[in-house]
Structure 1
Amino acid sequence: MRCFYHPEYVFPLPPEHPFPMDKFWRAEAMLREANHPAITIHSHAPASIEQLHRVHTPTYLASIRAGALVKADAVRLGLPASEALLHRSALEVGGTLAATQAALEDGLACNLAGGTHHAFADRGLGYCVLNDVAVAIRELHTTRPKLRIFVVDTDAHQGNGTHGIFAAEDRVFTYSIHVGKNYPAAKTPGDLDVPLPRYVEGADYLEQLESTLSPALDDFAPDFVFWIGGADLHIDDRFGQMRLTDEHFAARDHHILDLVTTRRVPTVVLYGGGYNRDRIKTARLHADTVLRAADHAQK
């Protein structure tokens, strides 16, 4: 299983910043140490400006490059806008583009980042500058216009940006299972939202996931899947407001991977969010999901 990573995924932020950029290099190091026989890790190029423009407005991209966001937009984004941030974010999108091509060829692939689902076409929110999944979908549709694409979003927060970008697109199905009364406060409806109560127990979460995702996949019959995993469902996450243990994470991952591999649907695995009280644990959760995907790739 090909995984894509670039050292510049790690963007310099103050130590007290709530977004743990160190999770990227930590998880990559864990995967190298695991030495899984099915995993190879590759570098990649950034997304081109032409590819970004298929989703994001020129005005928005220019404001990020120039560091010229108005104060309210800068606060909503939560990251310091600059040309360096735009380059870093274009690299993250490039990782998802590379993983998309690898999944078409191999069945399963991973970007060791990505899942930046709060970014809309004209604004970034919640540490999401560019919507990597949306750019990858638009890129796929340039050469495969009839491809039916399913976005499985199991991050603890609703994928509002992805929902908004594809609200009128019948070739794309957006599924999000998340805490209902959590960020973002204003939800953007997707094709299937599964809102859960705050501090939902892991068993209840799994029951809802298993009863809703499989029928939606069967009804839509996708040709390609993007899965935004999310590490913020963990009981010790600062912002997720869910109560999943490591065992629940394993059950979630195996259920989703079973669904896509038994259907033989090419799938890209992406990180999504994660803000565990133990920063190393955030990386461990992401890495474990990738290792489980690699196990399925071997079957």
Structure 2
Amino acid sequence: MLKIAWSRMFAHALPEGHRFPMAKYDLLPEQLLYEGTITEANLFAPEPLPEKFIVDTHDSDYWHRLRQLQLTPSEIRKTGFPLSDELVDREVVIMNGTVQAALFALEFGIGMNIAGGTHHAFTDRGEGFCLLNDIAIAARYLLNYKSITKVLVIDLDVHQGNGTAQIFASEPRVFTFSMHCGHNYPFHKEQSDLDIPLAEGTDDKTYLHQLQTILPRLLDKVEPEFVFFQSGVDVLATDKLGKLGMTIAGCKERDRTVLELCRRNNLPVAVSMGGGYSRQIAHIVEAHANTFRLAQQLWF
């Protein structure tokens, strides 16, 4: 059964002024339920992640200052959110959503988090709407506690996964792959194991050719036992923070490429939704919904 992490905290713990387009966290499960892609049985509400698993990945000093709301004004500005207990509580629940999605992926082949993809969080700081890094925490959990020895991170958000790259820069058991808009946030890029910077305005045909050429070879080279897929839909031409030129149909084919390769190679995959900031919330929800529809079609 497809298992999907979702909590009302994902949207409602955000401060006023930051809830659009984050309304997608409520609208997406509503759409999937309405159309019959999923039922209530597919959704699970994660508990907060225990601290021990957070400090496996993040510096304990940073975590404790975050938990006690003691970040400096400069550190808070870089996250993009005013800091609050509710925001930190939300982040800790999201972290466990991806950990649990990874565990469901080991059981069923795929697990998903309606939130997550917080790839701009570093070991010792947050940036870009990310306080903690769910993909890194979940990957570290599998390495430490589930006998996984090789992880591949496929990050296809429009922005480079700089935090994930930094966290795993000296970890040979994790291969980080980021395909993103080259001239976009973050303006200082970290070095992933493989970075593919794309030109502004890159269209569906060019994007998909790149991905479909690179990814099969990468799987052969890395030979992962587990995949984390950051499936941000800010690659759309309509995205306010994007700068690429993809359509919703092209974004769906991107996801199909990744998920079909995982399915064909019997690779368990945990999917985090990542970014999406189009002016029309319907574009965001439809693009994200396609990822879940494909998961149901391919695995169940």
Please give the range of the TM-score, normalised by the shorter of the 2 chains.
over 0.9
Unpaired runs of 5+ residues, structure 1, are none
Conserved? CA contact 1:64–1:82, under 8 Å: no
For residues 53 and 7 of structure 2, the distance between their equivalents in structure 1, rounded to whole angstroms, comes to 19
Conserved? CA contact 1:66–1:81, under 8 Å: no
For residues 38 and 70 of structure 2, the distance between their equivalents in structure 1, rounded to whole angstroms, comes to 46
Moved more, 142-151 or 94-103: 142-151
Counterpart secondary structure, 1:234: coil
**Structure 2 equivalent of residue 246 of structure 1:** 248
For residues 112 and 187 of structure 2, the distance between their equivalents in structure 1, rounded to whole angstroms, comes to 30
1:6 aligns with 2:7: yes
1:201 aligns with 2:203: yes
**Structure 2 equivalent of residue 160 of structure 1:** 162
For residues 76 and 248 of structure 2, the distance between their equivalents in structure 1, rounded to whole angstroms, comes to 34
Q: Decide which of 106, 109, 115 is 1:107's aligned counterpart.
A: 109
1:67 aligns with 2:69: yes
Counterpart secondary structure, 1:292: helix
For residues 80 and 196 of structure 1, the distance between their equivalents in structure 2, rounded to whole angstroms, comes to 32
For residues 276 and 66 of structure 1, the distance between their equivalents in structure 2, rounded to whole angstroms, comes to 34
Unpaired runs of 5+ residues, structure 2, are none
Deviations 1:267-295 (A, max 9, x none): 01110111011123212211221111111
For residues 172 and 96 of structure 2, the distance between their equivalents in structure 1, rounded to whole angstroms, comes to 25
**Structure 2 equivalent of residue 26 of structure 1:** 27
Q: Provide the TM-score with structure 1 as the length reference.
A: 0.95
How many matched pairs? 297
Q: Decide which of 137, 140, 144 is 2:139's aligned counterpart.
A: 137
Conserved? CA contact 2:248–2:283, under 8 Å: no
**Structure 2 equivalent of residue 187 of structure 1:** 189
Moved more, 276-285 or 38-47: 38-47
Deviations 1:75-125 (A, max 9, x none): 110011122211100000110011011000010111111110000011000
Which runs of structure 1 show a deviation greater than 3 angstroms over 4 or more consecutive aligned residues? none
**Structure 2 equivalent of residue 176 of structure 1:** 178
**Structure 2 equivalent of residue 264 of structure 1:** 266
Q: What letter matches 1:30 in structure 2?
A: Q
Counterpart secondary structure, 1:251: helix
For residues 267 and 146 of structure 1, the distance between their equivalents in structure 2, rounded to whole angstroms, comes to 13
1:229 aligns with 2:231: yes
Deviations 1:145-204 (A, max 9, x none): 452100000000000000000001111010000001110000000111000011111211
For residues 61 and 271 of structure 1, the distance between their equivalents in structure 2, rounded to whole angstroms, comes to 23
Q: What letter matches 2:74 in structure 1?
A: A
Q: What letter matches 1:80 in structure 2?
A: P
Q: What letter matches 1:27 in structure 2?
A: L
**Structure 2 equivalent of residue 35 of structure 1:** 36
Conserved? CA contact 1:65–1:86, under 8 Å: yes
For residues 212 and 19 of structure 1, the distance between their equivalents in structure 2, rounded to whole angstroms, comes to 34
Q: What letter matches 1:253 in structure 2?
A: D
Conserved? CA contact 2:117–2:230, under 8 Å: yes
Q: Decide which of 20, 39, 57 is 1:55's aligned counterpart.
A: 57
Conserved? CA contact 1:26–1:280, under 8 Å: no
Q: What letter matches 1:35 in structure 2?
A: G
For residues 219 and 263 of structure 2, the distance between their equivalents in structure 1, rounded to whole angstroms, comes to 12
For residues 19 and 156 of structure 1, the distance between their equivalents in structure 2, rounded to whole angstroms, comes to 19
Counterpart secondary structure, 1:46: coil
1:18 offset after TM fit, Å? 7.9
Q: What letter matches 1:7 in structure 2?
A: R
For residues 95 and 162 of structure 1, the distance between their equivalents in structure 2, rounded to whole angstroms, comes to 17
For the structure 1 residues 133 and 219, does the alpha-carbon distance in structure 2 shift closer, same or farther, using more than 3 Å as the test?
same
Q: What letter matches 1:28 in structure 2?
A: P
For residues 168 and 292 of structure 1, the distance between their equivalents in structure 2, rounded to whole angstroms, comes to 34
Identical amino acids, percent of aligned pairs: 35
For residues 242 and 18 of structure 1, the distance between their equivalents in structure 2, rounded to whole angstroms, comes to 24
For the structure 1 residues 182 and 219, does the alpha-carbon distance in structure 2 shift closer, same or farther, using more than 3 Å as the test?
same
Q: Provide the TM-score with structure 2 as the length reference.
A: 0.95
For residues 188 and 228 of structure 2, the distance between their equivalents in structure 1, rounded to whole angstroms, comes to 24
Deviations 1:41-92 (A, max 9, x none): 1112111111111111222222223333222211110011122211100000
Conserved? CA contact 1:235–1:242, under 8 Å: yes
